[in-house]
Amino acid sequence: MKYKALLAGSRRAAVAVLTTAALAALAGTPALAQPTLGTPSFPGPSMSAHPLPIIQSQKLDERHGWKHEWNVRTSAAAYLNDFYTNVYGALHVSGVNYIAKNYNKGTPIRIIGASMVFPYPVMVREGGGIETIADLKGKTMGVPRASYIYAYLIAVLKHHGIDPDNDITCRRSSCSTAAISMRFSSAPPRR
């Protein structure tokens, strides 16, 4: 019996040591990572580098009177920038998957406070006043319509009393073109 009590006590001590070490490492990580990680932010919305040659070759910027500074970057960086600068108050979960995939490929990502609204396919910025799905009413969301979760998202919004056609702006923000439909084609919100 003493052997079992000793083993249980050793297990508790090991868990306490590992938990303390993990918390210490977690607390020190943002301070250590801050100077080296980060995607520079510009006021959004952004677009990726892919449509830039088309815009310039067809002189779309001149024809439409667009005055802007070109900051060419990857689609991942454009998508991240729009979330960092609060162009989108919320992201569809497939956008989160896209960000994580590109982080694993070496795209630097600035660590920000964000929360998942479980079990729904939504990620929101902390401090933005969105605590529940119902709080999305009147907000703008980046939504890649080709995602298989898109229909689920619409059902979730309706379940929480949000009319997807009138109460929320769902911008067609496919990860490959970021916010080009909103910024450069004057496309209306999802209807």
- Residue listed under structure tokens 């297990």: 11
- 176/47 Cα distance (integer angstroms): 9
Structure tokens at 98: 């896209």
Whole-number pLDDT of residue 167 = 92
Q: Which residues contact 17 (CB under 8 A, 6 or more apart)?
A: none
Q: Which residues contact 84 (CB under 8 A, 6 or more apart)?
A: 39, 41, 110, 112
Give me the mean pLDDT over the 2-27 stretch: 47
Tens-place pLDDT, residues 90-148: 666 666 666 677 667 776 665 555 555 555 567 777 777 787 888 888 888 877 666 66
- 163/174 Cα distance (integer angstroms): 22
Whole-number pLDDT of residue 190 = 45
Whole-number pLDDT of residue 22 = 40
pTM of the model: 0.38
Q: Which residues contact 71 (CB under 8 A, 6 or more apart)?
A: 42, 46
- 89/130 Cα distance (integer angstroms): 8
Tens-place pLDDT, residues 139-190: 888 776 666 667 777 878 888 899 988 998 877 665 444 433 334 333 444 4
Flag whether pLDDT at 21 surpasses 50.
Answer: no
Give me the mean pLDDT over the 3-7 stretch: 54
Give me the mean pLDDT over the 58-74 stretch: 75
